Structure 1
Amino acid sequence: MAWSSSSSESGEQTPRSPLPSRFGSRVCTFAEFLAARQQGRQDELLPPVVPTPAPCGHCGQREDLARRIWSPAPDTDDDGIPYGSSSTPLDHRGAASEASLVDRVAFEGNSCFTCVRRIYQKTPWVEENDRQDTPLHYAARCRNHTMAFHFVCMLGDAFGLAWATMVVRTLNTCGETALHEAIRLGSWRTARLFMWVDPELAQHPESGQGTSPMYLAVSLGHKHIAEMLHSENRGKQLSYSGPDGQNALHAAVLNPSGMIEMLLNWNEHLIKEKDKNDSTPLHLVVSAQYEPYVRRYGFRVPDVLFPMKKLATWRVLNANTSAAYQQDINGLYPVHIAALMNRRVAIAILHRKCRGCVGLRDKQGRSFLHIAVQYKSYNVVGYACGESEFASMMNFRNNDGNTALHLAVEVGDIWIFCRLLRKSEVLLNLRNKKGETPLDLAWSKRQETSFSYGRNPENVIHSTLKLAGAVHGSFWRDYLEQIHIGERKPTKEDEEKEEKKDKKDSAKLTDATRTLGIGLVLIASVTFSATFAVAGAFKTSDNNDGGTPTTHKWYFKAFIFANTLAFICSAAATISLMYSGMPMVKLQIRRRHFQTSLNLATSSLSCWAVAFTIGVYMVLAPGGRVTAIAISVIIPIVTLYLYMQELFLKMSAVRQSLIARRRIPSYGQRMRVWIISTFYAGRGR
């Protein structure tokens, strides 16, 4: 057989075009192929869409395709009824009851001409007013290229090229042709077969009526199929439309197969088209622009040497710079989309290519920094704070008058707040339209509940702003006039608000009491049992019969003392916790009892950890002193890990911000800020 193949990207054998034949200098068309079959002519070179010989998946026979493809289909079926004997081709559709007899499993595997003919004569092809799957849909869905080839040949022999073209263009309930099924599975040869039958098939469905084959191929990353669709279309207007008003370029920017330049070379107007949300391809590419990473010693680290010009955002922006200044339906520019999705690299490319676009505002007057802070885009906030060119943007105000620092206080994120506070250009006392400074907002966040953990973000932010020198605005004076001076009486709304707040605090106390009570009871049980268990099992060196231990060993005395203290603290904490969980007790008293219980629980846990460490040392010291010392050192480190992680690591960001804000040069002053910030953050005041 005089045709060759090459491997495609999907691993399928992609046929190459054969040498010129008697049908001309190019590969013969489907119409010429049908004419040659009717005339009984044979060509020494086969069309590239002819399937490779393979055993039939139904009967197991291997047919001679070289002879079969140049012979037209028989004029009669197995019952002697001629094909196409009716007045119109529509009479061949058959009854739906006959179609139900055909098992869809029969479409799987290679099929010979005889088996395909049996399915062909029992299957309806086009139902009036009913967009159902045709046998071509099933054949393409099952990767049965041989069956699809025999189907189109039978249709062409029986009813001509026009009828075969109409069947190939038939849409199912999803608005897709059989070509869509072949593309979805990455079947290059089957897709080439349908385009061979109808070179204009890639134009269906029409623009705006469904997903085009080109959009589907691009969205799935089948570059070789997309190139085939464009080449087989033979210069005619190709459909690039997709769902929701998108085009193929919208899909290409989200796919890493590198088809952006290819599509722009085919149709440069795709870069300017918008979808139903008025989003350009640039809006989509910045939302999916991941930062390039490399592997170093098993870790993923940013590839700072990766050239930006190879990134999709750069290529799309280079094709149409004006897209950076176009809004979507929500009034967001591409720079806002990048900030929303935390795409630092996209922001860097926009800043480098279009410096004017980074300062654009959306409908709410927000810059990209406002959006990055509001949606906790850490990489974008870090990039904006690290570039000196964005210094003037630090104090931009939105339509409500809020700066980025106002929003950082509102979202309550310690890292973002400290990153902004570290910038000396950030002003601490700017007021919004309500007259609130960042310190006023922090104070309001604290007042949402009167019962909270001292190192919660709202408490740490409030104390840090006070240390940094922030002041209250007119909001604070209004509050003093209305509340503390008592110039107005509480309204019904104020009473309902206060009652709702008390119920919320009461529910918090009840839930916290349950959680803390489990831990206290566990500590009390363990310490109570350990006291008598260890005392009864402890043996002195001069008494091998057991009995009451001697008290001259220091570690035994320390163990008994720590264990007893842990039991006393846990028992006292349990009693206080009982009062804090009683709804009949006033809320202020419940808060005080819970705070006492929490302090005692912390002391009990510390004593229990000490007792456990000494107990391990007491057991292992006689046989291995080195092992006992090592374990005694490891246990306290593990116990203090959570406390150190929460207090010191979190407070380090606060200390760095305060030191940068006050520009403290001396080591002694740095230590003073460290002690004060840790103390205030721990108390939450």
Structure 2
Amino acid sequence: MGDHHYEHGDINDILILIGQTLTVSISSTFSKSSCITDLLLPLDLGRLEAQISSDASYDQRKGTYLPMNILGSQDFSQIGEDTADTELVPEFLTNLRLSDLFALPGEYIKMTPEIFSGISDGNKECLKKLIRDETPMSLARLRSSKGDSILHLAVTWGHLELVKDIVSQCPSLLLEPNSSGQTPLHVAAYEGHTAVVEAFVALVTFASDRLCNEESERLNPYILKDEDGNTALHLAIEGRYLEMATYLVNANHDAPFLGNNEGLSSLFMAVARGDVSLVKAILKTTGNENLEGKKFNLYSKLQGKKYLAHAALMAKNKDGLDFILDEYPSLVDERDDSGMTCLALGAYVGYYEGVCNLLHRSKKSVYVCDQDGSFPIHRAAKEGHQEIVEEFIKQCPDAKHLLNKLGQNVLHVAAKNGKHRVAKLLMDNEDTEHLGIGQDVDGNTPLHLAVMKWHYRSITLLAKGTKILKLRNKSGLTARDIAESELKPNYIFQERWTLALLLYTIHTRGFESVDSLTRPAEPLDPKNNRDYVNTLLLVAALVATMTFAAGFTIPGGFNSSAPHLGRATLAKNPTLCIFLLLDILAMQSSVATIGTLIWAQLGDPLLIRKSLHVALPLLLFSLLCMPLAFLFGVLTAVGHVKWLLIVICIISVLFFLWAIFILGPHVMLQRPYVSPKYAGYFLVTFMQYKEIFSNFVTLIHFIFCCGCLSF
């Protein structure tokens, strides 16, 4: 200093000037010079800050502050040197060597069980011991049997403070993958440790602001992919960690558009999962150009699948679909790789609200066919979405006349695929019932197609008039001709029930004679037929045994004193008489069934068939008499309890009708002659009420499943 003397205020000014000069010099060095490989950053900030006057301005002191918020409240996409809200440098970064970020660890060292256990448990003493005994480079080389570094292990268990200590000692581990190609950031995202992700973002932001452009680009863990092609953002979205995912989006604007090995970008996954807030955060990064410019900018960035509106429809997410179509209106008419428009996809997946939304925005897609020639209304009919088909016809009445490449209208498609609800909707409507006489390129009507596919539920709906029944295709065949010619000789329930319903419908129309609703069935495999006969014998023997035993265990018991010793106590009770009558009928019918089936054991195919025609009705009768006998036996015993009597009767009636529904067609369709008058009415009636019985069975299944789960 020489002979110069300075006042206290002058010294403060000099210190401030020195601080500014150092800050500018360091900043210039990192922004303009070549990459730094051996410089320590940051400076001893605490000592420098102590030398600066407390009334120094923000501009004078900004070199001692990190422009970011480690707690995550700051939007990292807006971070820069001019950010007004600043925070002190996080403590775990004060001793960070930037030169160590890209240091290669060299050959890996196998981690001992003690180290693995200590790091997994978050034991800081274990790390301190490693730091004392090992060099930072040796620490970075430690690997578990799965290729995890000590940083991977600390991140897996969410030990935040330990993670910070490891990062400060070995920052290069941030970019080191394990055997699955996952960096510590991947692991943190997969496990849902948001605080750890925030610490990593803090490190990357801090270092990126102080590295040259080349090394700053290298320090980008957000775009690194694992062996499945997933970035950390992919894993955060997959785990539904929306707060973390939004944080990662703000940290890096390129990662959301990168595709994985399945061609799914983070943006596409967010749309498909219905995470609207995340989708909004991602799309805001594409810019504010005009509509076409925004779409081009989006598609130029987006890797893999690009059809975002289609993804929203698949997810059936209304808010996501509205936001995407509001941002990119032209996507409403966009086609995917298979040529399906958004409307076609919405019709296919049965998203009624989405279809109405799309129709409101644009009806043009109603008349756009896919690559296979199907229109959206055909897609809805094929999948049986009745409400959507109705909406199409309501808003675009001429859509019902659209034909696919096979010349088939919407009723053809519904009949071919067995969608009887759609067929009923169209045939019950005066404006659409004429579709039933429409013929495709082969001359087939919807009834022809339903018979070809043996969709018995649609038969009575489609065969609404004699004109439909008389129509022939280009091969000269009516629907009846097709059914009788295609019927297989062996017993196939669906085919034989379809034929029976068709013949019954023809009989009721009265334009052709019908002698029987069934055709003789020939067994294809004698061995299987023998097993079938043996099964029937066993069932008949069980029925005979139980009914025989029930005859000697009469409800009410027997008299034990004269003059009616050994006789039934309730012999004059009407319900007991009915019980005995039904029990006797069940036993005698089962015995007759056994005797008939003994003839079937001889192996003569003709004798087997004739024996079955006699035995099956007898066995059905005995099976129906047995539960009725049980019902009246119970009524005899507890008839005085009125509420229990009512409950038992309701349950018994339901199960009796269910038994008829299950066993009736099985027996009826195997007989060589079935009257088209009464038997046909039986088949049609029970087919119409099939859903009621199906719901009843579903209810029983639900009750038993709940009981098993609770048990």
Match of 2:88 in 1: 67
What secondary structure sits across from 1:379 in the alignment?
helix
Q: Distance in 2 between matches of 1:516 and 1:351?
A: 52
Tell me, what secondary structure is at the counterpart of 2:505?
helix
Deviates more, 1:94-103 or 1:549-558: 549-558
Shift of 1:200: 3.9
Paired residue secondary structure (1:238): helix
Please give the alpha-carbon distance, in whole angstroms, between the structure 2 residues aligned to 1:190 and 1:677: 65
- 1:115 counterpart = 2:135: no
Q: Does residue 279 of structure 1 match 2:279?
A: no
Structure 1 residue corresponding to 2:592, chosen from 572, 590, 593: 572
Structure 1 residues 511-566: Cα deviation after superposition (integer angstroms, max 9, x where no partner): 5424433331112112222334449952177558x435699747566655554443
Decide whether aligned partners of structure 1 residues 73 and 197 sit closer, same or farther in structure 2, where only a CA change above 3 A counts. Answer: farther
Separation (CA, whole Å) in 2 of partners of 1:629 and 1:214: 63
Relative to 1, partners in 2 of residues 1:535 and 1:396: Cα closer, same or farther, differing over 3 Å? closer
Aligned pairs for 1:149-548 within 5 A: 149-153=201-205, 155-156=207-208, 159-160=211-212, 162-166=214-218, 167=220, 168-205=222-259, 210-235=263-288, 237-239=297-299, 245-255=305-315, 256-290=317-351, 311-422=353-464, 424=465, 427-446=468-487, 448-449=489-490, 456-471=497-512, 502-504=522-524, 506=526, 509-534=529-554, 537-539=557-559, 542-543=562-563, 546-547=565-566
SS of equivalent residue, structure 1 residue 547: coil
- Which one-letter code corresponds to 1:221 in the other structure? G
Give the Å deviation of 1:570: 1.3
The alpha carbon displacement at 1:403 in A equals 0.8
| Equivalent residue, structure 1, for 2:197 | 145
Please list the CA deviations of residues 47-100 of structure 1 after superposition, one character each: whole Å capped at 9, or x if unmatched: 4674379xxxxxxxxxxx942249964354xxxxxx417xxx754476555262
Alignment partner of 1:84 is 2:99? yes
Residue deviations 1:135-162 (CA, integer Å, cap 9, x gap): 3222332333333223313542664455
Normalising by structure 1, we get a TM-score of: 0.68
* 1:381-403, Cα deviation, whole Å (9 max, x unpaired): 22222332223321122233211
In 1: Cα distance, 2:325 partner to 2:407 partner: 34
CA 272–145 in structure 1, closer or farther in 2 if over 3 Å, else same: same
One-letter amino acid of the counterpart of residue 278, structure 1: G
SS class of match (1:68) = coil
The reply to whether residue 597 of structure 1 matches residue 615 of structure 2 is yes
Contact 2:381/2:389, CA 8 A, preserved across alignment: yes
The one-letter code sitting in structure 2 at the alignment partner of 1:434 is S
Gap change, CA 1:596 and 1:154, over 3 Å in 2: same
1:174-216: CA deviation from partner (whole Å, max 9, x where unpaired): 333223333334445544444444434444359x993233212
For residue 618 of structure 1, report the CA deviation from its aligned partner.
Answer: 5.0
Distance in 2 between residues matched to 1:248 and 1:318, nearest whole Å: 19
For 1:106, which of 117, 129, 154 is the aligned residue? 154
What is the CA distance between 1:469 and its match in structure 2?
3.3
1:637 aligns with 2:679: no
> Would you say the 8 A contact 1:183–1:225 is kept in 2?
no
Instruction: Decide whether the 8 Å contact of 1:203 with 1:239 is kept in 2.
Output: no
Alpha-carbon distance, 1:468 to partner: 1.7
User: In the TM superposition, what is the alpha-carbon distance from 1:619 to its structure 2 partner?
Assistant: 4.6
Deviations 1:464-487 (A, max 9, x none): 223323559xxxxxxxxxxxxxxx
Aligned to 1:80: none
Q: Are the aligned partners of 2:451 and 2:479 in contact in 1 as well (CA < 8 Å)? A: yes
Q: How far did 1:338 drift? A: 1.0
Greater CA drift, 594-603 or 162-171: 162-171
* Gap change, CA 1:265 and 1:249, over 3 Å in 2: same
SS of the aligned residue for 2:502 comes to helix
After alignment, is 547-556 or 279-288 more displaced? 547-556
| Cα pair 1:254 1:288 within 8 Å, conserved | yes
Unaligned runs of 5+ in 2: 1-26, 32-40, 44-59, 75-85, 110-140, 144-148, 289-293, 514-519, 666-674, 688-711
Answer with 402-411 or 172-181: which moved more: 172-181
The 1:553–1:271 alpha-carbon spacing in structure 2 relative to 1, beyond 3 Å, is: closer
Q: Secondary structure at the match of 1:254?
A: helix
Structure 1 alignment gaps of length 5 or more = 1-30, 54-64, 77-82, 292-310, 473-497, 650-671
On the 8 A contact 2:186/2:232 being kept in 1, the answer is: yes
Instruction: Describe the SS at the equivalent of 1:376.
Output: coil
Maintained 8 Å contact 1:116/1:147: no
Secondary structure of 2:322's counterpart equals helix
- Shift, 1:361, TM fit: 2.2
Q: Which has the higher contact order (CA 8 A, sep 6+)?
A: 1
Assess if the C-alpha contact under 8 Å between 1:566 and 1:608 holds in 2: yes
Query: Cα distance 1:91–1:430, how it changes in 2: closer, same or farther (>3 A)?
Result: same
CA distance in 1 between counterparts of 2:480 and 2:385 reads: 30
After superposition, give the CA deviation of every residue in 1:117-141 in whole Å (9 maximum; x if it has no partner).
257436262679x992223222332
Partner SS, residue 278 of structure 2: helix
User: CA offset at residue 593 of structure 1?
Assistant: 0.6
Q: Give the TM-score taking structure 2 as reference length.
A: 0.66
Quick check: which one's helix share is greater?
2
SS at match of 2:547: helix
Structure 1 residue 645: Cα displacement: 5.3
Partner of 1:27: none
1:273–1:625 distance in 2 versus 1, CA, 3 Å:
closer
1:678 is the counterpart of 2:681: yes
Distance of aligned partners of 1:240 and 1:466 in 2 relative to their CA distance in 1, 3 Å threshold: farther
Q: Percent identity?
A: 21
Higher Rg of the two aligned structures: 2
**In 1, distance between residues paired with 2:578 and 2:325?**
79
Q: Which moved more, 1:392-401 or 1:111-120?
A: 111-120
Q: Distance in 1 between matches of 2:650 and 2:242?
A: 63
| Structure 2 counterpart of 1:153, one-letter code | T
Distance 1:154 1:140, change over 3 A: farther
* Residues 540 and 139 of structure 1, relative CA distance in 2, 3 Å threshold: closer
Q: In the alignment, what sits opposite 2:185?
A: 136
Aligned AA (1:439): R
Note the C-alpha offset of 1:344: 1.8
- The equivalent residue for 1:655 is none
